[in-house]
């Protein structure tokens, strides 16, 4: 695995790979890698000739400076994890390399950015779009791999690619969970033991909610989720919304056509966790 911290040598190396006819797969990350990221890397390796991983904690997508300051940075262990998987290139740029000048672009994702994360993390998706579009124009991947855990991010990135007509195929990848059901996240490392112990309640409740959806209305299921999770003194639901999987518009009834996804954000102490579950496929 070759490590690059600057754009130009990486681009030269990738140009040579492209000229050989190799298909380039890209996994953008913010580091603090876990099994979830590694499953994206493996998926990229199974579909592409060359795998590029980036590790860049993107300041423009943090709406909370403490969150940015506390975000785990673990380059050495990330490199050692990646070395056990097929990753040919690791891109680890500085903020100045990615943003030689401030990025003032404002993207418009319509409803996709107004609900859920968009409502509670203003500016977050604009920052994601800024960095992903920059990374795409640096790496010029054929395919890019994103986890379904960040469900709304995935919808935003698909729309970004459509709007900018970028020649990259977005490949959604399944959520990877701990044995107790907690969705893997770099933020799990920051949980205090007591919060880590009760965090599996999130996915347990989502599974119960899915069962309940056979017999209860959308509103009743939403109330159930809020009550169950908030009953644990250590967890606090920020939002739970049941939305259409492409428009992200909240659904009012199970009878509406389309796939419905329950998306949740929960504070476990100071740490914010997100998760989601597909309710039904019509
Ligand atoms: O999902 C993430 O880790 C980040 O939002 C991404 C896509 C790497 C952009 O910084």
pLDDT of residue 198: 98
CATH number at 186-275 = 3.30.1300.10
CB-CB contact of 174 with 264 (8 Å) = no
Question: For residue 186, how far is its CA from the centre of ligand 1 (angstroms)?
Answer: 11
Ligand 1 environment, Cβ below 6 A: 28-30, 58, 61, 128, 131-132, 150, 153
Question: For residue 235, how far is its CA from the centre of ligand 1 (angstroms)?
Answer: 25
Average model confidence (pLDDT) across the chain? 97
Distance CA 208, CA 199 (A): 15
Q: What is the pTM of this model?
A: 0.96
Q: Give pLDDT tens digits for 137-177.
A: 999 999 999 999 999 999 999 999 999 999 999 999 999 99
Nearest to 151 by CA among 242, 60, 20: 242
| Atom nearest to 54 CA in ligand 1 | 8
Question: For residue 126, how far is its CA from the centre of ligand 1 (angstroms)?
Answer: 12
Residue nearest to atom 6 of ligand 1 (CA): 29
Confidence band for 274, pLDDT divided at 50, 70 and 90? very high
Residue 282, pLDDT above cutoff 60: no
pLDDT of residue 280: 77
All residues at 6 or more sequence positions from 218 whose CB lies less than 8 Å from its CB, including other chains: 242, 251, 252, 253, 254
DSSP annotation of 98? H
Residue 59, pLDDT above cutoff 60: yes
Confidence band for 178, pLDDT divided at 50, 70 and 90? very high
CATH 3.40.50.620 domain position(s) in the chain: 2-173
Q: Give pLDDT tens digits for 118-134.
A: 999 999 999 999 999 99
* C-alpha distances out from residue 272 to 124, 137, 202, 242, 248, Å: 14, 31, 12, 19, 21
In testing the pocket of ligand 1, which one of 29, 67, 118 has its CB within 8 Å of the most ligand atoms?
29
Active-site annotation holder among 34, 37, 85, 124 = 37
CATH number at 2-173 = 3.40.50.620
Whether 195 is catalytic: no
pLDDT of residue 281: 56
Q: Give pLDDT tens digits for 62-101.
A: 989 999 999 999 999 999 999 999 999 999 999 999 999 9
- Residues forming beta bridges with residue 244, ordered by sequence position: 260
Distance CA 175, CA 160 (A): 22
| Atom nearest to 186 CA in ligand 1 | 3
Residue 200, pLDDT above cutoff 70: yes
CATH 3.30.1300.10 domain position(s) in the chain: 186-275
């Amino acid at each position: 695995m070759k490590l690059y911290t600057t754009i130009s040598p990486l681009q030269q190396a990738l140009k040579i790979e492209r000229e050989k006819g190799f298909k380039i797969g890209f996994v953008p990350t913010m580091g603090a890698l876990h099994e979830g990221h590694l499953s994206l890397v493996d998926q990229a390796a199974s579909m592409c000739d060359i795998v590029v991983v980036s590790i860049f904690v993107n300041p423009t997508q943090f709406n909370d400076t403490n969150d940015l300051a506390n975000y785990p940075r673990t380059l050495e262990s990330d490199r050692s994890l990646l070395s056990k998987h097929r990753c040919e290139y690791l891109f680890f740029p500085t903020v100045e390399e990615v943003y030689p000048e401030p990025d003032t672009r404002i993207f418009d994702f319509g409803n996709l950015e107004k609900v859920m994360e968009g409502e509670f993390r203003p500016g977050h998706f604009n920052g994601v779009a800024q960095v992903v579009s920059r990374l795409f124009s640096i790496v010029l991947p054929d395919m890019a791999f994103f986890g379904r855990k960040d469900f709304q991010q995935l919808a935003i990135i698909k729309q970004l690619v459509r709007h900018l007509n970028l020649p990259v195929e977005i490949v959604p990848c399944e959520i990877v969970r701990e044995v107790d059901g907690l969705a893997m996240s770099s933020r799990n490392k920051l949980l205090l033991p007591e919060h880590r112990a009760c965090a599996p309640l999130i996915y347990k409740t989502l599974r119960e909610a899915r069962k309940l959806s056979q017999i209860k209305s959308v509103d009743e299921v939403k109330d159930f989720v809020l009550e169950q999770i908030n009953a644990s003194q250590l967890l606090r639901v920020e939002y739970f919304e049941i939305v259409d999987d492409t428009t992200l518009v909240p659904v009012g009834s199970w009878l509406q056509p389309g796939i419905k996804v329950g998306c949740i954000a929960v504070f476990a102490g100071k740490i914010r966790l997100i998760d989601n579950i597909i309710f039904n496929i019509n």
